[in-house]
Structures are given as C-alpha cells and as structure tokens.
Amino acid sequence: MNYQSKLKAGQVLGERYLIKRLIGSGGMSCVYLAEDLRLPGKRWAVKENAGIGPEYDDMAKEAELLVKLSHARLPRVVDYCLPDADGYCYLIMDYIDGVTLTQYMQQHPGPLPGRLILDLARQLLEVLLYLHAQQPPIVYRDLKPANVMLSESLSLTLIDFGIARSYAQGSLRETVNLGTAGFAAPEQYEAGPCLPAVDQYGLGAVLLYMATGGHETRWRSGMEARLRPVVDHGLIPVIRRLLRVHPDDRYPDAAAVLEAVEQVRSHSDPHGARQKMRIQPPHRSGQQPPTVAAVLGAAPGLGATHTSLALSVYLSGLGPTAWVDMNLESPVHERLQQMFGEETELLSPAGSEGAAFSWQNIHFWRPGAEGSLTGVHEAGYTYVVLDLGTGEGSGGLQLFAASELPLLVASGADWRLEETLRWLRRCGLAPQPKWNIGLPLAGPLAQKLLQEHIGLGRVLELPFQRDPFQRKGKLAGALRSVVSGASEMNAEAVGRGFFKI
C-alpha cells in the first residue's frame, strides 16, 4: 500500500512526541524519529500506518505482540495512538540508534568477515529462541537484512513485527503467508500454517546473503566452493540445512541450530588462525621513502584517532599504507586487532621492534620501546599515517612539523577557536603553508575566522562519519582535498622522511 503520510518534521503527535525526521518507509508504513517533550533528551521511533482495513489490523496485532514481549534484542512498545478520523494510527517504540544490516553491507562491500557472520547468527538465534518459546510460539516470518538493526558495537535488534504471528498447535489455517522474496521459505507461498521452521529458512538466507556480499539467498550448485574462502567450513553444512526446501529436513528447533553454530564458534579460534597467517610488509628495495601524514589533536576527545584511521583508509586506495599508533599508552592498536578478529594477519617485519597486523590492505603498527619505528621506514609503504594523539611523548610535535601531510584536529565550535590559538602559542609551532587544520562539524564561519587568524595553511571542515573505515562519503572527500593539496605543494616540501630526525 502506498499512501501520503500525515506526519512531518516539527509536528507534535499526541501532545507529546515531536517529529524530527523520516527514518524509514515501506509499502505499508512510515517510521519517524521523535523527541519526547515530557522526557527531554529521550528519542522514540514512531511507526505510522493508514487504513481501517487489514493494514490497521496488522498494526494492532504488532502492538499486541510487542507489548507482551521483553527481550534485549527486541524494541519495546511504549505507546499506541488509536486511529484518527482518517484512519491513521501510530505505534511508539524504542528508537534503535544504528543502521540496518542492508545499509551496513552497502557501507562494507563484499562478503562480511566469517567471525562476524557467526556472531550475528548467534544473536539472531537468541531472539528466535525467545520468540519460539512463547506460548503459543511466535513465528517472525520476515527475517531479512532490512529488519535487522546493528548498533555501533554490532549488537543487533530485530525490528518490524508487522507480519509476525502466534502459531497455535493444530491450527489448519493461516490467513496470509507474507514474506520477502528471496528470504521467505517455500512453504510461505502455499496455503497452510507457518511453523517456526519458517524462521530457520529466513536465517539461512540471511547468513548466505552476508557470506556472498549480498548476491545470494538460495542454495545453488557450487555454493559450497564459493563459501569455503569466506566462512568457517563448519558453518557451510549449517547454512545448507537451514535452506532445505522441506521444513522437516531443517533442524528440529532453534535450539538445535544454536548448538550447531556454537560448536562452529568453539572450533573457530581467531587467535590460532592468526598465528598461521604471517605475512611480510611490502618491502621493495631502492624505493623512495614514504609520504608521511601526521594527525595531531589540539585537545583530547576531538577525534584525532578517528580521523587518522579514516585517512589511512583513503590512502590505502592510492598505495600500500601503514597506520602507526604513536601513543605508547593507548589501547587502540590492541582493540582494533580484537575487533577485526580472525580477518587480521600478523606481520613479520624483519628487524622490527614493534607489533603489526594487516586488515583490508592496511598495516596497523604499534612502535617498539620509546616509540622506535625500526622496520616501518624499510617496509616500502607509499604512505605512513601517524596517530600522534595530543602529541605527548615520542616527539609528537616534532613528527607533526616534519611530516608532509600534517593534519591538526581542533574543535569546530566557534567559542573554542580562541582555545586553538592559545594551543598554537603554547606548543611553539608556527603554522606552515602545508598545514591542514580540520574542524569536526564546523560551519563556514568557524572556518573563516580561524583561517583569518592563522593566515598560512588550510582550514577545512571534517564532516561527521560514524565509521572511520567507510571508504566513501563526505569525510573521504575532505581528506581527499588534504592529499591533493599536499601533492600540489610537493615540489616545495622540505624533506620527505621523518625517520632522519
């Protein structure tokens, strides 16, 4: 059903919910972000549905289901607005801050990491176990990437219960077997009740979708060979069984699926896997020294590390790139290695005192004692990105001044510009033509004012981007201008390597 929404930004629903913006829409409903006027700072998702026919019945049943449920991976329903004179009704529920699995895969093209697929499979099975354990069991019936929300920490929430139904044992009829083509089980296209095995098929389709980079949802000839390089070999027969055409050929229940997935997880040791895959940095004798980019924060918490990672991602598309954590007290290097899991490969740099690993064509380094970078300058990188933090220790300010791509991250708030100028005077660094000063979320006025005060260098906005490893977007565009500006000044640059300091 396509209809004209009655809501718009600035409107207040039920004298309480201030509509901010549209965050999703489909053929049967729209979802808006709203602020609670009674609870300042609290945000909700408002789902709008129109019509007094089957569509209203669906929404009423969705509300009935969700009100009775309580699970960490399901949104709570907190309010329900009855149909108005035009037949529009509204469901107010938890706002899930994140992206759908569909959006996440668009931001990360290609098959998802095998360990992540296992983690998401376990999380989905947690909520399916809960739903199927209800009396009578609740069959979700529409498991697909668009209905899986992921938080920044990749914790998932299952949304949109518009077609979920309670299955009564012995029921001979099912009113409508809805589902999404490609993810719906074969029996959903037939008359008769939808059993919990329907959700097993949907799970298998989602797992296959993730493992093939969004290209496949049905088992085809030769699929096993395609999956071997991507997922743990033990997961392949699990996916195959979930996608069996006949429900009786799938697992007895969600608990049996979870047991099979956990068995695969227990035999998938990311640390052991990494130890078997040690690679060498891209050493090439006789090559000129790398171009060094140094990212420095004028104060803690401004996003210097975030920016340095985003810059590394952009530069890795131009040539072999290394990211170096120059803050010896920082846990970032270890956390990144844990986050990437089994997808990382340990580096074996000859004569290096530091630790390094590789992920998606970027080498992540942690210096040796006292910030020693022995081995990095001999590795043959085209670009080396230094995360200097706030410049404390390891000669951070000197490394920043000597680099060819110096990027100072300062506050973009108008009222903190004077703070940036005081920092420059205090540290004793004189702005240079090659300098770039990035202001997160700054407006044109802040850029103009700071540019007028420092004179030399360039001041630019650093647009917000939640994921620093996203290869496309406004932040990548801003960093592209940093690199291109440095290329234009390359002939006038003084010195190429910070290693000789």
Overall residue count recorded for the chain in this entry: 501
Closest CA to 497 of 273, 285, 291: 291
Report helix, strand or coil for 494. coil
Closest CA to 496 of 284, 290, 287, 285: 290
Contact 318, 362 (CB under 8 A): no
Tokens of 268: 């998938």
Please give the backbone phi and psi of residue 45, each rounded to the nearest 5 degrees, phi first. Answer: -100, 130
Give the dihedral sign, CA 122/124/125/131: positive
Closest CA to 308 of 407, 412, 375, 396: 407
Q: What angle do CA 337, 340, 346 make, to 5 degrees?
A: 50
How far apart CA 258 and CA 124 sit, in angstroms, is: 9
How far apart CA 369 and CA 355 sit, in angstroms, is: 11
How far apart CA 492 and CA 267 sit, in angstroms, is: 56
Which residues, at least 6 apart from 387, have a Cβ–Cβ distance to it below 8 Å?
295, 304, 305, 308, 309, 323, 324, 325, 326, 327, 330, 332
> Quick one: which H or E segment has residue 41?
none
> Is 47 annotated to bind ligand?
yes
How far apart CA 422 and CA 411 sit, in angstroms, is: 13
| Residues 477/481/487/489 CA torsion (nearest 10 deg) | 180
Tokens of 223: 């699929």
How far apart CA 457 and CA 438 sit, in angstroms, is: 11
Give the dihedral sign, CA 12/16/18/22: negative
Q: What angle do CA 209, 214, 216 make, to 5 degrees?
A: 55
Binding-site members for ATP are: 47
Binding-site members are: 47
